[in-house]
Chains A and B, each alone.
Chain A
């Protein structure tokens, strides 16, 4: 730190942002972006070289991948925002089902579709708000609060609707809007892109996003500078609940029914997608593009294994290995000065 010449050092490079591999790697989503791109390049080359053995680029495969990603992706965006705020939500899988069930039950009992959808979304927002209120007011770790909420909701779902699958046929316009397709483009994937974009704008271009990073990154600093920690964290809980509801409703439209066991395991997959995408387990760090790529990578690898005709039990093992590698990599990167 010298007091001379500082003006010169401050000047020209300030706003340059050329492509720089080191800078990219320092970005929270940099590593996942590099890994994802490499994987895609390898797969595309392999698919062009062996189009019959490795049908990666077949329209059917592309469609099925694009259809599969949004369910996890939309949940993971909400969970990622909450993790950046320094909290967890293990109840998103159950919220996913409960919201879809609320929507289907409302619609099947004669409520107009728009209100039924609003009811489903509201269910998710309310569950998120309750999670947040209990966690923040009673000062319980959110891991515990939302674990309790997950089991409570699962029990409630089974109690209220048994093990039966509920049909949901909202009509073709709505179905097309949520889960239709035009050529290779899947509308549910467009929803994921929109949700990711909205989340990116929130986290990087909005005041609330700045505060979410701050309360997760250094709660004391945020408090001492006057950031309303309670309000900010509560918002993040509500966002996570809302994202789970949205994903649940879109998935329900896709399969035209709600099953009580739908959504089980999504809570952990969402955290996995976030970790792979570079979200810190300690809060304050991560990016929405990373969460998107994390979700995409999870399904991509499943898809590749399926195309290679790997036995089913390999899938979980591979995903597990990826999570371990990703978490370790992120930890190592964080240690860098």
Chain B
């Protein structure tokens, strides 16, 4: 089977992780994994439960520190040891339950942590509300959202994902990590999230689609990385593989 080798270093890489190793007590969660996110791609990060997908996502989003390995951006080694670092590198992670505060309104979520403020930290509420509606109308398209004052807890799972994605896009993230984004969604909402990923690619944002649903991944992804027991066992572009082959790689061992 054709392997895209890990020495592939080029202008098109938004970020590169080399030799990433992470241990929890005696368990090796990640074992010298090389991983890169390229420009203009939807990358499928696949693997069975316990393969190391979540650990890798946490490392890329700055939540976990690596034991070994280095991170590069634009040819230079960079720090990736906090959420702030990840944000600076242009990475945003969208978790299953979307990192939104259910009891707050859409606009207060949209600008959480990056509030527009006037003097003394007072919020510019009208400006944020107006901007929120612009963002929602332009970047990802959600029906059923009519007001920036709607409480996020009242939205459906898909609408919440969309708000989280819109927030990431607005704050000019170059890479979106979507950790099992469709697992709690209805069929229609899943279709929409898959469509968003393609739309984001057209807008110049790369997505990492973390899932164990191979069929969803195969529909939208341009490249697949398969983890198994903490090792990278496959890194292949779509044209060079098939669902059958990927299935075989995932379930082997």
Chain A contact residues, CB within 8 Å of chain B = 1-3, 5-7, 9-10, 13-15, 17, 26, 201, 205-208, 210-211, 213-214, 216-218, 220-227, 280, 284-285, 337
**B103 near A6 (CB under 8 angstroms)?**
no
**A206 near B83 (CB under 8 angstroms)?**
no
**A217 near B146 (CB under 8 angstroms)?**
no
Residues of A within 8 A of B100 (CB): 218, 221
Interface residues of B in 80-120 (CB under 8 A from A): 83-84, 87, 93, 95, 98-104, 108, 111-113, 115, 117, 120
Chain B contact residues, CB within 8 Å of chain A = 61, 63, 83-84, 87, 93, 95, 98-104, 108, 111-113, 115, 117, 120-123, 125, 129, 133, 136-137, 141-149, 151, 154, 156, 158-159, 162, 188-189, 192, 195
Q: Which 9 A-B pairs have the closest CB atoms?
A: A217-B101, A221-B99, A284-B103, A217-B103, A225-B113, A285-B103, A218-B101, A207-B121, A6-B141
User: Closest CB-CB distance, B20 to chain A, in whole Å?
Assistant: 20
**A1 near B158 (CB under 8 angstroms)?**
yes
A215 (CB) vs chain B CBs: closest residue: B101
Bound state CA distance, A137 and B121, in angstroms?
Answer: 27
Bound state CA distance, A285 and B115, in angstroms?
Answer: 19
A-B contact pairs, 20 of them (CB 8 A): A1-B162, A3-B192, A6-B143, A10-B136, A206-B120, A206-B121, A206-B122, A207-B115, A207-B121, A217-B102, A218-B100, A221-B98, A221-B100, A224-B61, A224-B93, A226-B83, A226-B113, A227-B113, A280-B103, A284-B104
Bound state CA distance, A14 and B103, in angstroms?
Answer: 19
Residues of A within 8 A of B146 (CB): 9-10, 13-14
A10 (CB) vs chain B CBs: closest residue: B137
Bound state CA distance, A224 and B101, in angstroms?
Answer: 11
User: Closest CB-CB distance, A138 to chain B, in whole Å?
Assistant: 23
Residues of B within 8 A of A213 (CB): 101, 103-104, 108
CB-CB under 8 A for A6 and B112, given A221-B99, A226-B87: no
List 10 additional contacts besides A1-B143, A6-B141; criterion CB under 8 Å: A3-B143, A9-B143, A10-B133, A207-B115, A207-B121, A208-B121, A213-B103, A214-B112, A221-B100, A226-B84
**A1 near B115 (CB under 8 angstroms)?**
no
**A5 near B102 (CB under 8 angstroms)?**
no
Residues of B within 8 A of A284 (CB): 101-104
Among the listed A1, A5, A210, which residue makes an inter-chain contact with B112, where contact means beta carbons less than 8 Å apart? A210
**B121 near A14 (CB under 8 angstroms)?**
no
**B63 near A224 (CB under 8 angstroms)?**
yes
